[in-house]
Amino acid sequence: MTQHPPASAAPLAVIVLAAGKGTRMKSDRHKVLHAIAGRPMLDHLLASVAHLAPERQVVVAGHGRDQLEKALAGRAAIALQEPQLGTGHAVQQAEAALEGFAGDVLVLYGDVPFVKPDTMRALLERLHGDDQPAVVVLGFEPADPLQYGRIVAVDGVIARMVEYKDATEAERASPLCNSGLLAARCDDLFALLARVDNANAQGEYYLPDIVNIAIADGRGAAVIVTEDADEVAGINSRAELAEADARWQHKRRLQAMADGATLRAPETVWFAWDTVLGRDVTIEQNVIFGPGVTIADNVEIRAFCHIEGARIESGVTVGPFARLRPGAVLEEKSRIGNFVEVKNATLHKGAKANHLTYLGDADIGADANIGAGTITCNYDGYFKYRTVIGERAFIGSNSALIAPVRIGADAIVAAGSAVSRDVSDGELRLVRGEQLVKPGWADSFHDAMKKKKAERK
């Protein structure tokens, strides 16, 4: 990923607020760790932040701090807000983590995951405009302003900001709303926060109050407005999470088709955040991609497939009703058919498994044919073992390959075999019990049972 620092070239720190309890989620999982397209919303945000190459990142946590520490794994400092006394108070908790830092600060929200890097840059560039505002706020004009805080501004210069509950009717009539995101110089930010009080309807320390304090000081504050209200949409409930995922999916489907993929029923295809598609890929109905999927050119994914952690090379056909799990590699012109599951296994060029098969922890040689009902028995309850199948080998239907086992090149395993020892190149392996034939036995059995049943009536 190419990183582009802000045009101002001032050092940058980012504060992400994530201390809320997220009670509307009704979940034991921290709100910002709920996933959109297979990626926690916090990680969506931090991926955008990374484009600006910040020197420091601080996540303000409260409820669920342990979860955040584990998820972040050292990627950001953690500041604790306890108790939660408002957004201004939350930002103050990051001051210690930014000790000695002299530069710009972006204040973002962990439950507002889709702020674009260009929007963040615009905030910072405006901060270094000719009039040198003390604070720059990101505003937006939603179709329904609801109970968002309002911004009263003229030509991008803020006259006043007010929370909805404290606003007059005239102020509530303003269509320009506060997203909560802002930029300020580090020294200015914490100096202004030190002067914020909680004399308001909620009895909290509001972050937007620093704007009104800066205006009263004659420092001035500015607003830039995003035209994409979805960019600053907060996610507070399961319903809003689903809506955000749906918006993301819609954009990704359009991008996939613009890049040369055919989606037979776009609304039924669900991508992960990192799905990679080549050109002339065809995806039929009801296909779901988990994270970690890369698909080359000229691949066909047929209906009702579930694919994650897989690499699919050119000319491959998958499905319908196939499942590819992490570690699946399908090399050029291989084939996976209906009700086939592949996990941690490679099918080399031209290999095929067309029906009702499980291939786990396996290496399938080029042009090998795996018959219906074949199972690689890879797990003994304690350890996993590998199956290796040579080039052009033929595995007959309903065979069990008991790993660790190696099937040689050009070998044939007869249908119904349970193979527990290696098979040499070119060998036939037939493992079946002797067939027992008793002519007329079934007729005698039926007659005896019918008579017995009649006697019971």
Given a contact cutoff of 8 angstroms between Cβ atoms, the answer to whether 136 and 258 are in contact is no
41-50 vs 65-72: helix crossing angle, rounded to 10:
50
Given a contact cutoff of 8 angstroms between Cβ atoms, the answer to whether 192 and 206 are in contact is no
355 classed as catalytic: yes
Backbone angles phi, psi at 66, to 5 degrees: -60, -40
Per the residue annotation, which of 89, 128, 355, 446 is the catalytic one?
Answer: 355
Length of the chain: 457
CA distance 155 to 151: 12
CA torsion, ordered 337, 369, 386, 321, to nearest 10 deg? 10
Given a contact cutoff of 8 angstroms between Cβ atoms, the answer to whether 295 and 313 are in contact is no
- Give the bridge partners for 329, in sequence order: 311, 346
CA distance 44 to 427: 53
Pairing of strands 177-185, 104-109: antiparallel
CA distance 437 to 434: 10
Residue among 106, 90, 109, 89 nearest 31 (CA): 109
Given a contact cutoff of 8 angstroms between Cβ atoms, the answer to whether 125 and 104 are in contact is no
Active site residues: 355
